A and B are shown apart, each in its own frame.
Chain A
Amino acid sequence: MAKKKGTVHIDHNRCKLCGICVSICPVQNYKINQHKLKELGKCIACMQCERYCPDMALIIDTKDGKDTPTG
């Protein structure tokens, strides 16, 4: 699983900076900086943030193109 890589798409128009993704991400891939959600390129495609985001602002693309959540 650790080898898997995800590409994070953030819809900044939808994101309300609630911080759920920041706290839930197992590899600390998110940061809120100057009122903007930033991702740090460490995504392992666990899908937790996409699933819990209350505002449907995150989409994680996995490297192999599959969207099946692991974990």
Chain B
Amino acid sequence: MTRKLTYLNYLKQDLLPTQWCPGCGNGIVLKLACQSLEELNFPKKGTVVVSGIGCAGRSAGFFNLDSVHTAHGRAIPVAEGIKLANEKLNVIVISGDGDLLGIGGNHLLHASRRNTDISIICIANAIYGMTGGQYSPTTELGSKTLTTPSGNTDTPIDVQALIKAHNCFYARSTTYHLKHAMKCMVEALKHRGLSFAEIKTQCITNDGRRRGFKNGYEMLMYYKDNYKINNNSNELKHNEIGIVG
């Protein structure tokens, strides 16, 4: 008999396949999030997932629990309202880098000051995927996108510094480092107060291809070669992944 993927109980399986592109990393993050929920035995009743707008923003809709798909950039204030109205709920935000750090950046700044007890999983693909590949607040310097054809000249946002400045939880991983990424999510979910897990995730269609990657696999290998796990630091360097708590 075929083994059952028990973590899939957290998803509305009739909605699969997702509408994400072949090779898109969002599915990996979705899966890891479910595995993390399973690991922690989070009850489906009593847990709420909130997303904003974007490819990543479609995540919430797949969960087999009450979920909210907010306006662009507004996942965090909606999540805060939910949590503060009913402190018993586990409130998880899963959304994109543009959504959480661009249009919704001010909310993150202030939610972290308030240290509201919500867990944020950021699908950081360094691009505005849904709208065709414009540069985002996490696009690397020099990176070519639809709106930075000669390479990005704006400094990417230092989320780690922002989150740490307010003594909240920060972790970073990639969709290549599955076990590590899951650990980051589990710790973020366990953390009391605001936690932010930034998962570098490949967008092959509107980012990777433009930068010369042929497929999702090549982007995963790029993460493998470029990010090193650092378990012993309270400040991650640019190319490091880890949990800084």
A18/B215 in contact, CB under 8 A? yes
| A-B contacts, CB under 8 A, total | 64
Number of interface residues of A (CB under 8 A): 23
Query: For the complex, would chain B's binding face be called helix, strand, loop or mixed by DSSP majority?
Result: loop
Chain A minimum-CB-distance residue to B11: A56
**B31 CB contacts on chain A under 8 angstroms:** 54, 56
> CA A20 – CA B24 in complex, angstroms?
10
> CA A9 – CA B2 in complex, angstroms?
8
**B5 CB contacts on chain A under 8 angstroms:** 56, 59
Q: Which of B14-39 contact A (CB under 8 A)?
A: 16-18, 20-28, 31
> CA A13 – CA B16 in complex, angstroms?
8
**A51 CB contacts on chain B under 8 angstroms:** 178
A54/B24 in contact, CB under 8 A? yes
Contact of B16 (CB < 8 Å), options: A18, A56, A67? A56
Q: Nearest chain A CB to B187's CB is how many angstroms away?
A: 20
> CA A23 – CA B2 in complex, angstroms?
24
B96 at interface by CB-CB < 8 Å: no
A19/B23 in contact, CB under 8 A? yes
Contact of B178 (CB < 8 Å), options: A14, A15, A52? A52
